[in-house]
């Protein structure tokens, strides 16, 4: 943030909680509400795009989800996540229960931010990136050549269905 002339603010809350009612308790705290409001009002957001691939999931690496959780999310149609919110190949997040247990801004909030730079690379993330693009969750994508080609090829195949 400092290199871009901005400021970094931490949100002092877990990204994922066990139950939606626990999330609501956190959201009732003034410091958490203020942090989310601050995040909703930024002009530039820098985020990543995560995958549900067993070997590349950041939620799995962080110990927030299990292999079984990832499999359940895939069965619900989820292909990726950004800002901790999970979505399907079309960028829809409706019906993905885990999103009710995430503390942070909503995907609709992300869409309202003027510039959203997403950093994501690697073939395992191609489907996730495509879902994020379909959902219009980013305005700029920083990736590598091989991943970009995989996303484009996948989008062309999906366009033929």
Q: What is the mean pLDDT of residues 105-126?
A: 97
The pair phi, psi for residue 86, each rounded to 5°, is: -95, 150
Cα separation, 104 vs 93, in Å, equals: 15
pLDDT-derived band at 139 (thresholds 50, 70, 90) equals: very high
Identify the pLDDT of residue 10.
Answer: 86
pLDDT in tens, 40-66: 999 999 999 999 999 999 999 999 999
Q: Over the chain, what is the mean pLDDT? A: 95
Q: Is the pLDDT of residue 21 over 70?
A: yes
pLDDT-derived band at 157 (thresholds 50, 70, 90) equals: confident
Cα separation, 96 vs 86, in Å, equals: 7
State the first-to-last Cα distance of the chain, in angstroms, to the nearest integer.
Answer: 42
CA dihedral 127, 133, 138, 144 (to 10 degrees): 50
Q: Is the pLDDT of residue 161 over 60?
A: no
What is the pTM assigned to this prediction? Answer: 0.92
pLDDT-derived band at 6 (thresholds 50, 70, 90) equals: confident
Q: Is the pLDDT of residue 110 over 80?
A: yes
Q: Is the pLDDT of residue 120 over 60?
A: yes
């Amino acid at each position: 943030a400092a290199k871009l002339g901005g400021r970094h603010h931490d949100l002092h809350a877990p990204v994922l909680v066990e139950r939606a009612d626990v999330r609501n308790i956190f959201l009732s705290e003034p410091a958490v509400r203020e942090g989310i409001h601050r995040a909703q009002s930024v002009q530039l957001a820098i985020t990543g795009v995560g995958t549900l691939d067993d070997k590349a999931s950041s939620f799995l690496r962080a110990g927030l989800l299990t292999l079984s959780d990832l499999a359940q999310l895939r069965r619900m149609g989820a292909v990726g996540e950004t800002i901790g919110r999970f979505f399907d190949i079309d960028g829809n997040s409706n019906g993905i229960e885990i999103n009710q247990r995430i503390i942070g801004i909503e995907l609709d909030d992300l869409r309202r931010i003027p510039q959203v730079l997403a950093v994501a690379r690697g073939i395992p993330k191609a489907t996730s990136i495509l879902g994020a693009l379909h959902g219009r969750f980013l305005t700029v994508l920083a990736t590598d050549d091989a991943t970009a080609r995989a996303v484009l090829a996948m989008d062309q195949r999906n366009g033929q269905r």
